[in-house]
Amino acid sequence: MVKDMDIPDIVIRRLPIYARSLSYLASEGVTTVSSSELGSRIGVTAAQIRRDLSYFGEFGKQGKGYNVQFLLNQIRDILHLEQQWGVALVGIGHLGKAIVHYGGFKDKGFEIVALFDSDPSKIGSELDGHKVYHYSEIPQVVKEMGLEVAIVAVPARSAQEVVDLLVEADIKAILNYAPITVQVPPDVRTRNIDPVGALQSMTYYLDPEKNMTYRINNGRAF
């Protein structure tokens, strides 16, 4: 294991991908996997997987590979995924509602347990069994519940205001769906979900001429 030093964030970001692939392997009944097998499944080199894992311990067996379930458990442990995390969701418009009704978070250890919005007509109503509070109640309610994780699904213009309230509420991890870079103190983590940015960074590589048929029809033929 490399030191006790702090581990590069880029390594931490890959661990969920390793975990995901390992859990698929486990569900297929595979018991052992080598770094090269795992690597080819997720498009990274064997050396990178070994290096990444070496930050945390020696999880493999020479000549053999890694025990799938054991390695999965280790990674889940490293990432603190062995517990259910309560999550505050701010913004219950179209996107926020889609997030609430999406089952995928709860399965994976993230349960939305507090809802906030600014629309007076929504305050006090219930959604998915949870009362909706006003933004202004974020600090009190979130602190009371001891939450550390939040999801922001508000328009760009409200996002920084909401993030400031979450920071005041001692939230330390924010998943941000708003199309804006929010400012947080150094002890707060954020990750952005930015599908438009992802698309825009791919069109760089595309041939604008190829997009012809669509342009000729000006979007109305289909």
Partner DNA sequence: ATATGTGAATTCATTCACAGCT
Partner DNA sequence: AGCTGTGAATGAATTCACATAT
Q: Which residues bind DNA (CB under 7 A)?
A: 1-2, 8-11, 34-36, 44-48, 50-51, 53-54, 58-66
What is d(CA 134, CA 120) in angstroms, rounded to the nearest whole number? Answer: 8
**Binds 47, which of DNA, its own copies, none (CB < 5 to 8 A, cut-off by type)?**
DNA
Shortest spacing between CB 147 and DNA, in angstroms: 29
What is d(CA 32, CA 66) in angstroms, rounded to the nearest whole number? Answer: 5
* Window 111-170: residues binding its own copies (CB under 8 A): 111, 113-114, 130, 144-149, 156
68 binds its own copies (CB under 8 A): no
* Window 169-188: residues binding its own copies (CB under 8 A): 172-173, 175, 179-181, 183
Q: Which is nearer to its own copies, 133 or 135 (CB)?
A: 133
Q: Three-state SS for 101? A: helix
**Binds 85, which of its own copies, DNA, none (CB < 5 to 8 A, cut-off by type)?**
its own copies
Shortest spacing between CB 79 and DNA, in angstroms: 17
**Binds 5, which of DNA, its own copies, none (CB < 5 to 8 A, cut-off by type)?**
none
219 binds its own copies (CB under 8 A): yes
What is d(CA 32, CA 14) in angstroms, rounded to the nearest whole number? Answer: 20
What is d(CA 80, CA 57) in angstroms, rounded to the nearest whole number? Answer: 16
Q: Kind and range of the H or E element at 186?
A: none
What is d(CA 172, CA 187) in angstroms, rounded to the nearest whole number? Answer: 7
Q: Number of C-alpha atoms within 13 angstroms, CB side, residue 210?
A: 4
Interface residue with its own copies, options 49, 72, 81, 166 (CB under 8 A): 81
Residue-wise over 190-206: b if at least 16 C-beta within 10 A, else e? eeebbeeeeeeeeeeee
191 binds its own copies (CB under 8 A): yes
